[in-house]
A and B are shown apart, each in its own frame.
Chain A
Amino acid sequence: MPELITDLETLTLVIEVGGMPIRIHTTSPDFVDLLRDRYAGFISASERAEVEFDVDLMEPGEPNPDADVRVTQQQGRWSLRRGDFRAEWEPALRHGWIRQTANPYSIDCVLRIVHTLLLARQGGLLLHSASAIRNGKAFLFAGVSGAGKTTISRLAPSDVTLLTDEISYVRRQGDGGYVAFGTPFTGELAKLGENVSAPVAALYLLAQGPENRIDPVPAADAARSLLGNVLFFAEDEELVQSAFHAAVEFASRVPVLRLTFLPDARVWELIR
C-alpha cells in the first residue's frame, strides 16, 4: 500500500538584525531561497534565537498589504495581523507562527513589529531615520517622508558606511550610551544597510534649506520630534509607556541637532 502521508523536511534560517537572532522554520526550499536573497548579509549561523517562527505558507489569494496593521496582546500572547498575514507569538515560550503567502513583504513587516516589541522592553528603538557610520561613530538622520533621508544617504561619501536609509535600529548599552546597527529594512534607496554597528554620536533632524548648517535643539523639542519618528505598532499601554520613556531617555542622553542642508555632497563636511 502506498504511503499516504509524507513527512516534509523542515528547513531553518536565522535572520539576525541588531544582534537579535530570529529563527524561521519552513518546509518550502523556495521560500528559504527568497529569504536568503532578501536578507543577504543578515543571515546568521547563531545557535541562539530570541524568537522562533514556524511559517505556514498559504496559496496566493487576494491579500491586502495596505490594510492597517493590528498588534494586540492577550494573556501574554501577541497577535499581529494585516491583510496579507496573521501571526502569533508568545514571548515566554520564544515561539510563534506566521501565516502568509510566499512573499518577502509580509515577513518583513512581522520582523519589524517583533523587533519593536523586543526593543521596547530594553530601552531600544526602531526609528524612521537613515543612519550611517563615519570615523567609528554612528549618526542618525530623522525626518518625515520627503525630509531628505534618502537624499542624505545617496550623498554619503565613500568613507561613510550606510546602516539604513529608512529604519534605524538603536539599542541601549550598559553604560547608558546607545549603539546603532545596520538593518535590511530599506526605503526609497532599496539598498540593504551594512550589518555593522557603532556608538551613536548624534541624531540630526533633517530640514532642506538654502544653506548647510547645524543648530541645537532643546531637549524637550528633541523628545517631541523623536516620538514622532518612533516606529511602534502595539495597542498596549505598558509598551506605549516603555516606548515613551525610551524616546525621552534617548533625547536626554544623545545630542539632537537640526541639520538644514542643500541637496549636495558638501553637507557631509559637517558630519564627522
Chain B
Amino acid sequence: MSKLYLARNPRVAARSLDGEMMIMSGRDSTLFTLNKTATILWQAADGATPLDEIVQKKICVEFDVEPTIALQDAETLARDLASHEILQVSEQPIIPPNTSPGDAR
C-alpha cells in the first residue's frame, strides 16, 4: 500500500472555537464543522507526514481502534475531505505553495 500525504487547502479559512474546528470554503462560502477525527487529520496535515504515521501517532492514541481499520477509515475520511476541497491528498509529499521546491529538501 503506497503512502498518502495530506495538506491543508490554502484556499479555505479555518478557526477552532470551543474545540470545534470550523472551515469555510473561500470559493463558495460553504461552512464545514469537522468532527474529532477530521480535526486531527486537519491539524496534522503538514504535507510531509504520511497518513499511516498520523494514524499511528495521533488517531490510535486518541481512540481505542485497531490500526489497520483506523488507517482505512482515515484514508476514506481524508479523500472525503479532499472531495470538499478542505484537504489535498497525494502519494507524494505536498510542498506548501509559498515555498520553492528547494525549500523542501
Contact = CB atoms under 8 A, between A and B. Distances in A.
Contacts of B11: 237
Interface in B23-77: 24-27, 29, 31, 33
Contact of A224 (B12, B26, B29, B31): B31
Given A237-B11, A245-B13, A245-B15, A223 B22 contact: yes
Given A240-B26, A245-B13, A219 B31 contact: no
A145 interface: no
In which size bucket is the chain A interface?
A: 10 to 19
Contact of B17 (A220, A232, A237, A241): A220
A110 to B, nearest CB: 21
B22 A248 contact: yes
Contacts, number: 43
6 shortest interchain CB distances as A-B pairs = A237-B26, A241-B13, A220-B20, A244-B24, A244-B13, A248-B15
13 contacts: A219-B18, A220-B17, A220-B20, A220-B22, A220-B33, A224-B31, A227-B31, A232-B29, A237-B26, A240-B29, A241-B24, A245-B15, A252-B17
Interface string A226-268: 0100001000011011001100100110000000000000000
Nearest to B24: A244
A171 B104 CA distance: 41
Given A220-B33, A224-B33, A238 B26 contact: yes
Chain B at the A interface: SS class: strand
A218 interface: yes
Nearest to B30: A240
Nearest to A242: B13
A70 to B, nearest CB: 15
A220 B13 contact: no
Contacts of A251: 17
A234 to B, nearest CB: 10
Contacts of B25: 240
Interface in B1-19: 11-13, 15, 17-19
B18 A244 contact: no
Contacts of A218: 18
Contacts of B18: 218-220
A238 B18 CA distance: 25
A126 to B, nearest CB: 15
A240 B11 CA distance: 10
Interface in A165-217: none
Contacts of B15: 223, 244-245, 248
Contacts of B31: 224, 227, 244
A252 B18 CA distance: 9
B102 to A, nearest CB: 27
A237 B13 CA distance: 9
Given A220-B22, A240-B13, A252-B17, 16 more contacts: A219-B17, A219-B18, A220-B17, A220-B33, A223-B15, A223-B22, A224-B22, A224-B33, A227-B31, A237-B27, A240-B26, A241-B12, A244-B15, A245-B13, A248-B17, A248-B22
A237 B27 CA distance: 6
Nearest to A245: B13
Interface in A148-180: none
